[in-house]
Amino acid sequence: MDAVLQLPAPVNIGIMCDFDTGTRGMLVTVDLYYTANSPAGNDRIHVLMTEDHITGWQTDYGSGGNQPNYDHRHVLRAYLTTLEGDEVTTTSQGDAITRTYSFTVPTDWDIAQCETVVYVSETASGSNYGEVYQVASAASNNGSTDLSVEPLDAGIGPAYPNPAATHVIIPVEAMGAGGRLEFRDMSGRVLRDRIAGAAGSITVIDVQDMASGVYAYGLAGRPPRLLVIAH
């Protein structure tokens, strides 16, 4: 297990979102570059959209009571791929893959508050979803990210459990010792930050008070990883 947690991400992700304000059609171009062989062989691309600041009903079973104008943050709106993802079969070091995905954004969604999130995982086995290797996000309203062809050392191992309900444990690798570990929502807002300990140590983050959804975590200045919170 320790050896697996020390593995760097084998694939880098680039995203380009083209949104037409007239038709509300969106085309998402996803570029992958494998800096190492995928451990699992075939992988999966997952593309989803979130929307921030949706005003709607929320029931607080504590002292707050019913709130008709609650500000919902980073709500998962849609998958552009299937939930299982889009299979990738060329996953060796040096392989480059480009895929495009189209979607019509409903008129009641605020495109300025939408984010497109892409992550790559190993192929699921039966009902079990595979490990997430890499994640990237861009503004759905014509946002983009660069694609690096250099290996990206995250400096930390994958968090576990994932999905998480109460807390997550993040292993610290040699390159991450003493760095600032940040936990962000999909808009990039920092929700938690910690100073990582020595190589081989772990950092525990409490997520009990965080809403169910998709989050990113990683060391400042290094590529993030994806975490799902499900209460």
Domain termination residue (choose one: 152, 179, 199): 152
Altogether, the residues listed in the chain come to a count of 231
Q: What's the Cα-to-Cα distance from 95 to each of 31, 141, 199, rounded to whole Å?
A: 11, 29, 31
Structure tokens at 142: 């014509």
Say whether both 113 and 136 belong to one domain. yes
pLDDT in tens, 110-154: 999 999 999 999 876 655 567 888 889 999 999 988 775 555 566
Are the CB atoms for 213 and 52 separated by under 8 Å? Answer: no
What is the reported pLDDT for 177? Answer: 85
CATH code, domain carrying 178: 2.60.40.3080
Domain termination residue (choose one: 133, 152, 171): 152
Average pLDDT over residues 49-57: 93
Say whether both 130 and 217 belong to one domain. no
Domain that holds residue 229: 154-231
Please choose, from the candidates 34, 29, 136, 144, the residue with its C-alpha nearest in 3D space to the C-alpha of residue 89: 34
Say whether both 127 and 43 belong to one domain. yes
Average pLDDT over residues 49-66: 85
Residue 98 has pLDDT above 70, yes or no: yes
Say whether both 91 and 181 belong to one domain. no
CATH code, domain carrying 94: 2.60.40.10
What is the reported pLDDT for 45? Answer: 95
Q: Across the beta sheet with 180-184, what order do the strands follow?
A: 190-195, 180-184, 213-219, 225-229
Say whether both 89 and 192 belong to one domain. no
Say whether both 134 and 200 belong to one domain. no
Provide the number of structural domains found in the chain.
2
Domain termination residue (choose one: 117, 132, 152): 152
Structure tokens at 218: 């990683």
Residue 20 DSSP class: -
Q: What is the DSSP string of 161-174?
A: SSSBSSEEEEEB-G
First to last CA, the chain: 26
Say how far apart CA 28 and CA 13 lie, in whole Å.
13
Say how far apart CA 79 and CA 128 lie, in whole Å.
19
Q: For a pLDDT cut of 70, what percent of the chain falls above it?
A: 90
pLDDT in tens, 3-34: 444 456 788 898 999 999 999 999 999 999 88
Average pLDDT over residues 178-183: 88
Say whether both 143 and 37 belong to one domain. yes
